Copies of this chain bind each other. A is one copy, B any other.
Amino acid sequence: MSILCVGSVALDSVETPFGKAERVVGGSAVYFTAAASLFTQVRVVGVVGEDYPLEELDFLRERGADLSGIEQRPGESFFWAGRYHFDLNTRDTLETKLGVFADFEPKIPDEFRGARYVFLGNIDPALQHDVLDQVESPEVVACDTMNYWIDGSRDAFLELLGRVRILIVNDEEVRQLANEPNLLKAARWVQKRGPEIVVVKKGEHGAILFAEDSLFFVPGFPLEEVFDPTGAGDAFAGGFVGHLASTGSLAASDLRRAMVYGSVMGSFAVEQFSVKRLIDLPFADIELRLLKFREMTAFETHV
């Protein structure tokens, strides 16, 4: 099944200890789609300014993604500039310019309104509500957010949780949301408010799936060179939701495999600046890395 994805379509300027990239394509919807479109069709809704190099998203179109919901408006695109520290685990935001994104009002094209799978990227919870109001009867709604909204739009976000089946956030965010340092308790807190599935991303430490009463861990893939961590979380979400939508199943075995595909896509995303590594990525390479995750985690319980 196809996925409706609503999120930011941005330009990023990124500095890491290994180099610099200026005004490259980024944003949650772009990273998500670059990953998810390797699994199934993605229909994107977003907004960009006149300065956006839309042709750089042609690789998504060639893969079957429908970008007709990306509106181009007078003004500048959402721009983010950041610098990563030596160990790549921390970064400073150097500049954020919302541009046309400041007035973003997601308009879901008629032909997208029947979407069964919806991914709500990290945007204002009020807009996330708007999106869901325009979708007829979504079966699986997955959603991301960030500390800024958890703090500043808490009520709207808590209400949103009641409309969401899968929450995908990082460990810091779920702790803040539940006001609870223990991850297990924090995830259970969220589950009581709507989402039956909570995915907690932990960066290089991997991710945890909380589903009903079961837990599943996937490690981060150990890379010799992490080039640029930007977008790893969105690429993870793309692999995760992409696999689920491609199978049309939320069975435990699919949720687990989706977690590994998520970690696989996150691991590819960080190997180059922007979405470069996801452009010409054969599915065989994805499967190969999935097998490596199995090698890294399998053990026998008895001799």
Binds B, one of A44-52, A67-75, A179-187: A179-187
Q: Give the oligomeric copy count.
A: 2
Interface of chain A residues 252 through 268 with chain B (CB within 8 A): 253, 256-257, 259-260
Interface of chain A residues 223 through 270 with chain B (CB within 8 A): 223-226, 247, 253, 256-257, 259-260
Chain B residues contacting A247 (CB-CB under 8 Å) are: 303
From A225, A226, A294, A299, name the one whose CB has the most chain B CB atoms within 10 angstroms. A299
Q: How near does chain B come to A97, taking the closest CB pair, in angstroms?
A: 31
Q: If A181-B88, A205-B205, A224-B182 touch, does A257 touch B216 (CB 8 Å cutoff)? A: no
Contact A223 B301 (CB under 8 A): no
From A181, A185, A225, name the one whose CB has the most chain B CB atoms within 10 angstroms. A181
From B181, B208, B216, B295, give the contact of A299 (CB < 8 A): B216
Contact of A126 with B by CB under 8 A:
no
Q: A182-B226, A202-B205 are in contact. List 17 more A-B contacts (CB 8 A).
A: A87-B175, A182-B225, A183-B204, A183-B222, A206-B219, A217-B296, A219-B219, A247-B303, A256-B298, A256-B299, A256-B300, A257-B299, A260-B299, A290-B301, A294-B299, A297-B297, A297-B298
Q: Sorted from nearest, which 5 A-B pairs have the closest CB atoms?
A: A217-B219, A256-B299, A205-B205, A87-B181, A184-B222
